[in-house]
Structure 1
Amino acid sequence: MRNALLLAILFASSLVIYAEDYPLTLPAMPLHDPFILADAASKTYFLYTSNVASLTGEQRRGTMAYTSKDLKHWSKPVVVFTPPDTFWAHDGAWAPEVHLYRGHFYLFTTLHNEAKLIPQPSPLGRATYMRGTLIAMADQPTGPFVPLKQDGPVPPADFMTLDGTLYVDRSNQPWMVYAHEWLQKTDGTIEAVPLKADLSEASGKPIHLLKGSDAPWLNEDIVPSARGFVYITDGPELFRTKDNHLLMLWSSYEHAHGVTDAGSSYVQTVARSRSGEIQGPWEQLTPLVHEDSGHGMLFHTFDGQLLLVLHRPFRNARGKIYEMKDAGDHLEVIRERMDLDGE
């Protein structure tokens, strides 16, 4: 009887400690452009997003991370990266991702500097300025992350780009895949630039993969023009299926997006490479999730389940998790995991 009582006390104490360490759930966590790293070494999920000063106390822009053991209960966030004082940009810190590559952890996040103008004028008559994705390295998923390139983003500095992600092809060539801003292109594109083996910088010129208006579900009656309609490309993420098809998650809006129109709804969609390689050509598949949802990424749980995390709605976003099926040449949504992301 005494042993049973002692075990009950110890169990109750462990629950209290767990609740103190992981007090948050997804509905209470501000999350734009969420990215989850499943770290096998620590059996911990790291959820990265842009720093929220009111949660961390850090006033500078940067990257913060929540942690979880079960995807349901999350720790308070901690800052894992802020740009050095002398860095080329300090604003933005959008869409952070952390990838394990060759024994190190690499942070990809997008910064911008409105004081560093790009001479090329925008076809929309707007100012264009330095914006692009940096790569920073650390030995742990919690950082500290140190930028590899100090003088500018990895894509060309005269390109206004965002949302860079890592893809390593079947010949072990690393690439940064990124979105080229509608501010410069009107019809936004997704492009890829080859990287050196140590990810320190680009090793060649960018290649074109797709443009926003390629998606057949967009409003075909509206043609991008300087009169105000644009096609937006966001959040590319590459995924190799069990049957060796290469897919790309990306996000846009349900219709061509008016520059002054906030009524279009964000959508999580997907494309497939007909060649199975990054060079494409890329064909557009049916969108995966509507309802003002997007910027998703795929990951496997520690027991092998394939999940998709994205944010909804676009403003005041929260994380949503979907159980997915790898159907070989496409992805299927099985269900939203309301047990993980519900109130």
Structure 2
Amino acid sequence: MQIKRLSDIHLRDPFVLTDKNEKKYYLYGTLGVNVWEGPAIGFDVYVSSDLQEWTGPIPAFRPEPDFWADHHFWAPEVYLWGGRYYMFASFKVEGRCRGTGILTAESPEGPFHSMGLPLTPPDWECLDGTLFVDENGAPWMVFCREWLQVEDGEMYAIRLQEDLTGTVGEPVLLFRASEAPWTTGFGESGENYVTDGPFLYRLPSGELIMLWSSHGDLGYALGIARSQSGQIAGPWTHDPLPLFAKDGGHGMLFQTFSGQSMLTIHAPNDAPNERPVLFRAVEDGGRLTIEKRD
């Protein structure tokens, strides 16, 4: 087992789970080594007590021989729910649409085991599912429908069963990528817009926001959407400028043991140079700003 700094860890789509009881941070992410090509290895986790030095990699998930997917294992997020740990992650196999499924384990280090096929619609190309718990304590999954299928990438929410084994009702469309002022299209006529990496967060002011990523004027970027009702259905509006504008994104917020809010993203966005990066996050009257952590 090695001790590493974040600059030594080749991960995309970083996610940090804070364990206040054990006083440990757990870092997950898409393994950069075969993110685009070849059979996927699985997911690793790194463990730290100070956000400076990380022990790992620890194999958190390795697919069983009968696992349904074999490549594009992306964006793992881990949550404690009902006394167990659940990993939301995206997977792909030839002949089946990409989807977000859920894995479970007794420990944040794993080993995580599949709970079955994806919970996203089987005929939709989807990715980047994230857990949201509403004001009534009900679990939801927010996920992206890919531009590859709809051109203008879409953001959806779907209610989950209490034990996270299935869904309740139909997906609810929250917004399309082109609705944000800061996003830019691509393709021959600029009709393609990306939705990536949603993460929902309630600010100390009580406002419900969503971090999500797309392409902006300076490359891959991270923006903020805001629910005008404070509930998952929205309606959602978008800040005019991205929170992080140049060549980095797929972010999430977490709290340190001392209560400091932190943002993590991967930057830059080009392989094989992606690394997890940490920023201090400050909320003031609904405005979120970030400061690079030393």
- Report the TM-score when normalising by structure 1: 0.80
Alignment match, 1:93: 73
4+ runs of 1 displaced by more than 3 Å?
51-54, 224-229
2 CA distance for matches of 1:236 and 1:328?
22
**Larger helix percent:** 1
> How many aligned positions are there?
287
Q: Does 1:212 align with 2:177?
A: yes
SS of 1:76's equivalent?
Answer: strand
2 CA distance for matches of 1:330 and 1:252?
20
Alignment match, 2:41: 61
1 CA distance for matches of 2:77 and 2:285?
25
Alignment match, 1:281: 235
SS of 1:159's equivalent?
Answer: coil
Check conservation: 2:2, 2:57, Cα contact below 8 A. no
1 CA distance for matches of 2:173 and 2:263?
26
Instruction: Provide structure 1 residue ranges, at least 5 long, that are not aligned to the other structure.
Output: 1-20, 117-129, 256-263
Select which of 122, 132, 153 maps to 2:99.
132
Alignment match, 1:78: 58
SS of 1:184's equivalent?
Answer: helix
Deviates more, 1:227-236 or 1:132-141: 227-236
Cα deviations across residues 144-177 of structure 1 (Å, max 9, x unaligned)?
21222x2x21111111000000000001111010
SS of 2:7's equivalent?
Answer: helix
1:288 positional shift:
0.8
Check conservation: 1:164, 1:236, Cα contact below 8 A. yes
Deviates more, 1:179-188 or 1:59-68: 59-68
Alignment match, 1:321: 278
Cα deviations across residues 267-316 of structure 1 (Å, max 9, x unaligned)?
11111000000000000013111220100000000110000000111112
Cα deviations across residues 24-54 of structure 1 (Å, max 9, x unaligned)?
1111110100001111121111100134669
1 CA distance for matches of 2:56 and 2:113?
23
2 CA distance for matches of 1:327 and 1:159?
38
Match for 2:232: what amino acid?
I
Q: How does 1:258-297 map to 2 (within 5 A)?
A: 265-285=219-239, 286-297=241-252
- Report the TM-score when normalising by structure 2: 0.92
Alignment match, 2:21: 41
1:217 positional shift:
2.1
Classify 1:313/1:186 alpha carbon distance in 2 versus 1 (closer, same or farther; 3 Å).
Answer: same
Alignment match, 1:13: none
2 CA distance for matches of 1:291 and 1:170?
34
SS of 2:223's equivalent?
Answer: strand
Check conservation: 1:174, 1:194, Cα contact below 8 A. yes
Alignment match, 2:192: 230
Match for 2:64: what amino acid?
P
Check conservation: 1:307, 1:324, Cα contact below 8 A. yes
Check conservation: 1:245, 1:328, Cα contact below 8 A. no
Select which of 18, 24, 27 maps to 2:4.
24
Check conservation: 2:215, 2:221, Cα contact below 8 A. yes
Alignment match, 1:115: 95
**Larger strand percent:** 2
Match for 1:238: what amino acid?
L
Q: Does 1:145 align with 2:116?
A: no
1:227 positional shift:
4.9
Check conservation: 2:84, 2:107, Cα contact below 8 A. yes
Check conservation: 1:61, 1:92, Cα contact below 8 A. no
Aligned-residue CA RMSD (Å): 1.9
Check conservation: 1:22, 1:73, Cα contact below 8 A. no
Check conservation: 1:191, 1:206, Cα contact below 8 A. yes
Check conservation: 1:234, 1:295, Cα contact below 8 A. yes
SS of 1:72's equivalent?
Answer: coil
2 CA distance for matches of 1:85 and 1:228?
41
Check conservation: 2:222, 2:250, Cα contact below 8 A. yes
Select which of 327, 332, 335 maps to 2:289.
332
